[in-house]
Amino acid sequence: MTDEIKLMESAYVKHMGDHYKQASEELLHAYQRNKEAARHHEAGAFKAALHHAKLSKHHSFNAHAHLKDVLDIAEKLEAVKPLAALSARPPSGSGVH
Protein backbone atom coordinates (compact mmCIF):
# COMPACT_ATOMS: atom_id res chain seq x y z
CA MET A 1 0.00 0.00 0.00
CA THR A 2 1.40 3.36 -0.91
CA ASP A 3 2.00 6.09 1.62
CA GLU A 4 -0.55 8.29 -0.14
CA ILE A 5 -3.30 5.70 0.30
CA LYS A 6 -2.36 5.21 3.96
CA LEU A 7 -2.46 8.96 4.50
CA MET A 8 -5.87 9.27 2.84
CA GLU A 9 -7.19 6.31 4.83
CA SER A 10 -5.93 7.87 8.05
CA ALA A 11 -7.62 11.17 7.18
CA TYR A 12 -10.93 9.39 6.48
CA VAL A 13 -10.74 7.53 9.78
CA LYS A 14 -9.98 10.75 11.66
CA HIS A 15 -12.87 12.48 9.89
CA MET A 16 -15.18 9.64 10.89
CA GLY A 17 -14.05 10.02 14.50
CA ASP A 18 -14.83 13.73 14.37
CA HIS A 19 -18.34 12.95 13.14
CA TYR A 20 -18.85 10.41 15.94
CA LYS A 21 -17.76 13.01 18.49
CA GLN A 22 -20.08 15.66 17.04
CA ALA A 23 -22.96 13.17 16.97
CA SER A 24 -22.43 12.28 20.62
CA GLU A 25 -22.33 15.95 21.60
CA GLU A 26 -25.53 16.63 19.66
CA LEU A 27 -27.23 13.65 21.31
CA LEU A 28 -26.15 14.92 24.72
CA HIS A 29 -27.66 18.33 23.95
CA ALA A 30 -30.84 16.66 22.68
CA TYR A 31 -31.10 14.68 25.91
CA GLN A 32 -30.55 17.79 28.03
CA ARG A 33 -33.16 19.77 26.10
CA ASN A 34 -35.60 16.88 26.35
CA LYS A 35 -35.12 16.74 30.13
CA GLU A 36 -35.72 20.50 30.28
CA ALA A 37 -38.87 20.10 28.18
CA ALA A 38 -40.15 17.46 30.61
CA ARG A 39 -39.46 19.74 33.59
CA HIS A 40 -41.32 22.62 31.98
CA HIS A 41 -44.21 20.34 31.03
CA GLU A 42 -44.54 19.08 34.60
CA ALA A 43 -44.54 22.68 35.83
CA GLY A 44 -47.32 23.58 33.40
CA ALA A 45 -45.11 25.81 31.24
CA PHE A 46 -46.27 24.24 28.01
CA LYS A 47 -44.92 26.94 25.68
CA ALA A 48 -41.43 26.60 27.20
CA ALA A 49 -41.74 22.80 27.02
CA LEU A 50 -42.56 23.00 23.35
CA HIS A 51 -39.59 25.31 22.74
CA HIS A 52 -37.19 22.84 24.39
CA ALA A 53 -38.77 19.93 22.56
CA LYS A 54 -38.10 21.68 19.26
CA LEU A 55 -34.49 22.28 20.28
CA SER A 56 -34.17 18.61 21.23
CA LYS A 57 -35.50 17.62 17.83
CA HIS A 58 -33.01 19.95 16.15
CA HIS A 59 -30.07 18.41 18.04
CA SER A 60 -31.30 14.89 17.26
CA PHE A 61 -31.51 15.79 13.58
CA ASN A 62 -27.93 17.10 13.66
CA ALA A 63 -26.73 13.89 15.31
CA HIS A 64 -28.49 11.88 12.62
CA ALA A 65 -26.73 13.92 9.92
CA HIS A 66 -23.31 13.25 11.49
CA LEU A 67 -23.98 9.53 11.70
CA LYS A 68 -25.17 9.50 8.10
CA ASP A 69 -21.90 11.18 7.11
CA VAL A 70 -19.97 8.45 8.97
CA LEU A 71 -21.83 5.78 7.02
CA ASP A 72 -21.14 7.57 3.72
CA ILE A 73 -17.43 7.75 4.53
CA ALA A 74 -17.42 4.08 5.57
CA GLU A 75 -18.99 3.12 2.25
CA LYS A 76 -16.30 5.05 0.38
CA LEU A 77 -13.59 3.33 2.40
CA GLU A 78 -15.22 -0.05 1.89
CA ALA A 79 -15.16 0.51 -1.88
CA VAL A 80 -11.40 1.02 -1.71
CA LYS A 81 -10.48 -1.38 1.07
CA PRO A 82 -12.58 -3.69 3.26
CA LEU A 83 -13.12 -2.23 6.72
CA ALA A 84 -12.11 -5.53 8.32
CA ALA A 85 -8.52 -4.44 7.82
CA LEU A 86 -9.22 -1.24 9.76
CA SER A 87 -10.61 -3.11 12.76
CA ALA A 88 -7.14 -4.47 13.55
CA ARG A 89 -6.20 -1.02 14.86
CA PRO A 90 -6.49 -0.45 18.59
CA PRO A 91 -9.52 1.63 19.57
CA SER A 92 -8.96 5.18 20.72
CA GLY A 93 -11.05 7.23 23.08
CA SER A 94 -12.69 6.43 26.37
CA GLY A 95 -13.05 2.71 25.79
CA VAL A 96 -16.74 2.83 26.68
CA HIS A 97 -18.83 0.66 24.38
pLDDT digits (tens, 9 = 90+) for 36-64: 999 999 999 999 999 999 999 999 999 99
77 or 53, which is more confident? 53
Comparing 85 with 64, the larger pLDDT belongs to 64
**Which spans in 43-96 are helix H?**
46-80
Q: Distance between CA atoms of 36 and 38, rounded to whole angstroms?
A: 5
Q: What angle do CA 81, 85, 89 make, to 5 degrees?
A: 130
Best CA proximity match to 38, nearest among 26, 24, 16, 55: 55
Would you state the pLDDT for residue 32?
98
